[in-house]
A and B are shown apart, each in its own frame.
Chain A
């Protein structure tokens, strides 16, 4: 039976599931909004994957993204790895000559510098989430447009207007006042796109010398106005890869494949039956010390399978 490798990227805003074969062909892909129940969503998507590829054997599973620990545990992942390595792995595969990766997701943005086919440097936004996908989402909603139409509408702008992009709160009040001065929705959106890129340059690039080839990926890469704003800022063409929105999932699937081959061990994947298990999450405040950690407890069919949130390991170590 032919083997496939599953990659799951559990982001703050969306969840991506892919299956690749030995030659990195993408046999299954899904991108769904993370509405707050990542386990249920992953279960659902795995069911679909199984239905579409009933005669394939699962060779390995990798999980990345901010929710990677829990989902990795639930699925029995062979690899649980950070999103920077995952993204870079996929980009280097599809664009071997890449030097600079802009990745903008729901709650964080990254800059990855590639040299000779390996990561040479990276930066992530520090504390602030301004200039990421959820900010755009929120503003699109406020203006009453669909996020999918954001880019197209922004490109119809006739005039330039500058929106303060340093902080979400300021950006919002600036947008409102610019609207009141009579600038159109399209112009506001264009200003917003430029502000986001300016913010990215300030916070992440910070004077680094960027070299082509430039690749722009992550959910926000769907927005053509942002791509244009990047091109104007750096004065060079920017490539948006075909699978821009699932690069992290593809990368982690590739890493899982390598890992399984390298170790020669069979996959730890718990099987599609996991989708039949009933998961329940509860929390409580631990009173054992003044830290008062919020402990998150995950049960599968009534049995505790994972506990996290404690700083001392009192609970998280007791399960595994």
Chain B
């Protein structure tokens, strides 16, 4: 049986888990193609009109999988990844939204709730539908989940060592990249690692000799520690993680500047953005927002990143000159 996994949204965070899980259960795993103009175009055309860009991209990937003739498309309903904190409502409604968009697709969508206490989504109770639906034995499922968890933890460990997710997902020999300045890149995995949607921003960074640090490279404990000063949490888990990471970036001397990469129409980010703008200024960290959308041209990303790096380099150079003067 063929299970299709859309290369969008949480693919960039959980694919190693899903691949191992389904393969251990005897399924063949098929992913959609990399995001391309035609996937984006069809997604924009078919998706709910007023929704954010990542959801439109996801819709395009679902259609791409339908063309590939899979038996099921896996669209889990992410509800919570930490006690009392929820995912963005669009994630919670995603399976319904996809089912509502197309005729006769309902039977093809494989979905279940994911309610987890941590980012580790291997808790057994989430997956009992597999027993009912496919007649998989309890023991086998538990074993597959344990194996998937192990794979995922390995992936996360490397990720936290500083390998970016695309390196880990696409390369047999992942590489780390260095640079003469370091930028903290804040953004959800599906914006930061979708090379098409963000105009391959990592290659722009590499060309300009910039090292990039992202939230997924941070230890969760560090992220949550930074959130303790807040009386209230953000409503959405990954927004919390970006905020916690942002405060870590603001404290760290080795981070020369912060870029927030956000997709047009992102509700959670509209609440996150003022915190980043105001507090990065307070902490004297250069900060910039790059907004990506379906019609964004590459040159606008390059111009902004270039000008931002010029700013940082000049600042650094001046500080060094000043330090020399004092000595």
Contact = CB atoms under 8 A, between A and B. Distances in A.
Interface stretch (A55-63, A81-89, A236-244): A81-89
Interface string A120-138: 1110101100000000000
A231 B45 CA distance: 45
Interface residues of chain A: helix, strand, loop or mixed (majority): loop
A320 interface: no
A292 B37 contact: yes
B314 A290 contact: no
A127 B291 contact: yes
Given A118-B315, A127-B291, A82 B310 contact: yes
Contact of B310 (A69, A85, A116): A85
Main secondary structure of the interface of B (DSSP, over half): helix
Contacts of A311: 196, 199-200, 298
A30 B318 CA distance: 34
Interface string A268-302: 00000000000000000000011111000000000
A119 interface: yes
Contacts of B298: 311
Nearest to A66: B299
B296 A121 contact: no
Interface residues of A, number: 23
A84 B286 CA distance: 15
A311 B304 CA distance: 18
A124 B308 CA distance: 11
Interface residues of B, number: 32
Interface in A58-98: 66, 69, 81-85
A291 B38 contact: yes
Contacts of A85: 306-307, 310
Interface string B266-307: 000000000001000100001110010101101110111011
B118 interface: no
A261 to B, nearest CB: 16
Contacts of B287: 121
Contact of A290 (B37, B277, B293): B37
A306 B305 CA distance: 23
B200 A118 contact: no
B196 A82 contact: no
A116 to B, nearest CB: 7
Nearest to A84: B307
Contacts of A206: 277
Given A127-B291, A127-B296, A291 B36 contact: yes
Contact of B303 (A84, A291, A292, A293): A84
A82 B307 contact: yes
A116 B304 contact: no
Given A66-B299, A127-B296, A291-B196, A118 B36 contact: no
Contacts of B38: 290-292
Interface string B29-68: 0000100111100000000000000000000000000000
Interface in A202-218: 206
Contacts of A124: 300, 303-304
A289 B196 CA distance: 13
Contacts of B310: 81-82, 84-85, 119
Nearest to A119: B311
B200 A290 contact: no
Given A118-B318, A119-B314, A291 B306 contact: no
Contacts of A289: 36
A127 B264 contact: yes
Contacts of A84: 303, 307, 310
B207 to A, nearest CB: 11
Contacts of B264: 127
Nearest to B286: A121
A206 B274 CA distance: 10
A234 B306 CA distance: 29
Contacts of A122: 288, 307-308, 311
Contact of B311 (A116, A120, A293): A120
A69 B38 CA distance: 27
Nearest to B315: A118
Nearest to B38: A290
A66 B302 CA distance: 11
B293 A127 contact: yes
Nearest to B303: A82
12 contacts: A66-B303, A82-B306, A84-B310, A118-B314, A121-B287, A122-B288, A124-B304, A126-B291, A289-B36, A290-B37, A291-B196, A311-B199
Interface of A: 66, 69, 81-85, 116, 118-122, 124, 126-127, 206, 289-293, 311
Closest 8 CB pairs of A and B: A84-B307, A290-B36, A290-B38, A82-B306, A291-B37, A119-B311, A85-B310, A118-B314
Given A82-B310, A118-B318, 8 more contacts: A82-B307, A84-B310, A118-B311, A119-B307, A290-B38, A291-B37, A292-B37, A311-B200
